[in-house]
């Protein structure tokens, strides 16, 4: 559980009126009142578990490595067996193929990698199985490198990010993490509580915003597009750097809900013609190969510009990144390896592949 999101705020859920100099937005509670003062590394977000003992915080590389432990255990250990020694022969390639398939890379990426590894082996005249690891690593880096395109938010003010995805993928928690991430870069952030289907979702965001001095635009009654529109008006009035819009979870097969999110996007465009500047699909890594179908469907509906892959810590299916790279590449902006506020970071191919193999 991302517990700081779940904790109920003090029962003063009554919306605070907007602070000057914002032109009041009808029907739109703006929280909190003190949003003008950015709170960079502000109020420590301590989960009960982390607050009693305070060991030195592990670095991102360490967290990434431990986050990817499950994938590494499965993929890496099996590979280590293969690369242990002996000759490179057809049997070895066959075993390599089945190992790659079990990590959810999918058939396309697996065949691609095998072909690439074979080429590298013959080009370099490799003979020994132990040399295969380097070849595979290089092939994998080359395959997923195109996904590494960090999000650039400068040049637009506000820079508008819209999130989409199925229920429970990690949209709302990722928004909290992103807000902190951007704040730590000195940027002002405003959130749009666009998941209007569930009151709890709105409250989750409002409570988080209150605790972290991030303005949240929400509405009691629920039209997601209207909330986003109001949020953009407020952001423009306040000179906010980054707007992040949450949306309700939906399956790509729920056609009416896909129409609804298309409308959200259109209404955002009405407020700011070149927005949203970033349309992100949030994916739970646990769904493995299914992620590729979701990328396809959401891309078709919304025109995705980026992906966030969450929960890599809970799964052995990290190989799906290779599948996405091969079958339907969309820039992988961030990956999540835990529930902590710092557990979402820009995707780096090198770090990922190293954490997987070493």
**Candidate list 35, 71, 153, 172; residue touching ligand GDP; CB under 6 A:** 172
* SS3 (DSSP) at 192: strand
Could you say which residues in the range 241-280 bind ligand GDP, by CB under 6 A? 249
Is 172 annotated in a binding site? The answer is: yes
Indicate whether 311 belongs to the interface with ligand GDP (CB under 6 A).
Answer: yes
Q: Choose the one of ligand GDP, Mg ion, none that binds residue 99, judging by a C-beta under 5 to 8 angstroms depending on kind.
A: none
Is 164 annotated in a binding site? The answer is: no
Indicate whether 209 belongs to the interface with ligand GDP (CB under 6 A).
Answer: no
Q: Choose the one of Mg ion, ligand GDP, none that binds residue 1, judging by a C-beta under 5 to 8 angstroms depending on kind.
A: ligand GDP
Q: Choose the one of ligand GDP, Mg ion, none that binds residue 265, judging by a C-beta under 5 to 8 angstroms depending on kind.
A: none
**Candidate list 294, 310, 315, 349; residue touching ligand GDP; CB under 6 A:** 310
Contacts of 5 (CB under 8 A, 6+ apart): 172, 173, 176, 204, 207, 208
Indicate whether 336 belongs to the interface with ligand GDP (CB under 6 A).
Answer: yes
H helices then E strands: how many in the chain?
A: 15, 9
* Pattern 152-171, ligand GDP, x by CB under 6 A: -------------x-xxxxx
Q: Which CB atom, from 195 or from 313, has the smaller least distance to Mg ion?
A: 195
Indicate whether 193 belongs to the interface with ligand GDP (CB under 6 A).
Answer: no
Beta-bridge partner residues of 336: 344
Minimum distance between the CB of residue 257 and ligand GDP, rounded to whole angstroms? 13
Residue range at the interface with Mg ion (CB under 5 A); choices 14-22, 32-40, 103-111, 190-198: 190-198
Residues 76 and 31: their CA atoms lie apart, in Å, by 47
Contact 111, 326 (CB under 8 A): no
Contact 243, 190 (CB under 8 A): yes
Q: Which CB atom, from 113 or from 169, has the smaller least distance to ligand GDP?
A: 169
Q: Which CB atom, from 171 or from 238, has the smaller least distance to Mg ion?
A: 171
Q: Which CB atom, from 112 or from 180, has the smaller least distance to Mg ion?
A: 180
CA dihedral sign of residues 77, 128, 136, 112? negative
Is 312 annotated in a binding site? The answer is: yes
Indicate whether 196 belongs to the interface with ligand GDP (CB under 6 A).
Answer: no
Is 84 annotated in a binding site? The answer is: no
Is 106 annotated in a binding site? The answer is: no
Minimum distance between the CB of residue 2 and ligand GDP, rounded to whole angstroms? 3
Contacts of 234 (CB under 8 A, 6+ apart): 18, 22, 25, 28, 30, 190, 215, 217, 240
Is 52 annotated in a binding site? The answer is: no
Contacts of 152 (CB under 8 A, 6+ apart): none
Contact 269, 275 (CB under 8 A): yes
Query: C-alpha distances in angstroms, 302 versus 165, 170, 287, 297, 299?
Result: 11, 19, 21, 9, 5
**Candidate list 71, 173, 213, 305; residue touching ligand GDP; CB under 6 A:** 173
Please count the other Cβ atoms lying within 10 Å of the Cβ belonging to residue 353: 20
**Candidate list 28, 110, 153, 172; residue touching Mg ion; CB under 5 A:** 172
Work out the angle at residue 112's Cα, subtended by the Cα atoms of residues 109 and 115, and round it to the nearest 5 degrees: 150
Query: How many residues make up the chain in this entry?
Result: 358
Matching residue, tokens 């970033």? 278
Contacts of 119 (CB under 8 A, 6+ apart): none
Indicate whether 173 belongs to the interface with Mg ion (CB under 5 A).
Answer: no
* SS3 (DSSP) at 337: coil
Indicate whether 349 belongs to the interface with ligand GDP (CB under 6 A).
Answer: no
- Binding-site residues for GTP: 165-172, 246-250, 310-313
Binding residues for ligand GDP (CB under 6 A): 1-2, 165, 167-173, 249, 282, 310-311, 313-314, 336-339, 343
Q: Which residues bind Mg ion (CB under 5 A)?
A: 171-172, 195, 201
């Amino acid at each position: 559980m991302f517990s700081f999101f779940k904790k109920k705020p003090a029962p003063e859920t009554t919306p605070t009126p907007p602070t000057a100099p914002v032109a009041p937005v009808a029907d739109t509670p703006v929280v909190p009142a003190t949003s003008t003062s950015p709170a960079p590394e502000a109020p420590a977000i301590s989960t009960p578990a982390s607050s009693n003992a305070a060991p030195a915080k592990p670095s991102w590389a360490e967290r990434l490595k431990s986050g990817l432990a499950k994938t590494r255990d499965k993929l890496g250990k099996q590979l280590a067996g293969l690369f242990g020694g002996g000759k490179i022969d057809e049997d070895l390639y066959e075993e390599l193929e089945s190992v790659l398939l079990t990590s959810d890379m999918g058939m396309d990426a697996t065949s691609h990698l095998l072909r690439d590894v074979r080429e590298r082996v013959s080009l370099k005249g490799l003979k020994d199985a132990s040399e295969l690891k380097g070849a595979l690593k290089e092939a994998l880096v080359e395959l997923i490198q195109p996904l590494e395109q960090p999000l650039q938010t400068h040049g637009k003010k506000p820079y508008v990010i819209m999130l989409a995805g199925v229920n429970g993928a990690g949209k709302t928690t990722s928004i909290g993490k992103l807000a902190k991430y951007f704040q730590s870069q000195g940027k002002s952030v405003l959130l749009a509580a666009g998941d209007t289907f569930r009151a709890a979702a709105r409250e989750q965001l409002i409570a988080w915003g209150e605790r972290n001095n991030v303005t949240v635009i929400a509405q009691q009654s629920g039209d997601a597009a209207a909330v986003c529109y109001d949020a953009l008006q407020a952001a423009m009035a306040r000179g906010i750097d980054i707007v992040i819009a949450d949306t309700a979870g939906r399956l790509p097969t729920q056609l009416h809900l896909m129409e609804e999110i298309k409308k959200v996007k259109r209404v955002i465009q009405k407020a700011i013609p070149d927005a949203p500047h970033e349309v992100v699909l949030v994916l739970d890594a646990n769904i493995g190969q299914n992620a590729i179908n979701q990328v396809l469907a959401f891309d078709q509906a919304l025109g995705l510009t980026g992906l966030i892959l969450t929960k890599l810590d809970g799964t052995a299916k990290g190989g799906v990144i290779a599948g996405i790279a091969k079958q339907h590449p969309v820039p992988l902006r961030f990956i999540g390896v835990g529930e902590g506020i710092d557990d979402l970071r820009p995707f780096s191919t090198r770090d990922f592949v190293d954490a997987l193999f070493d």
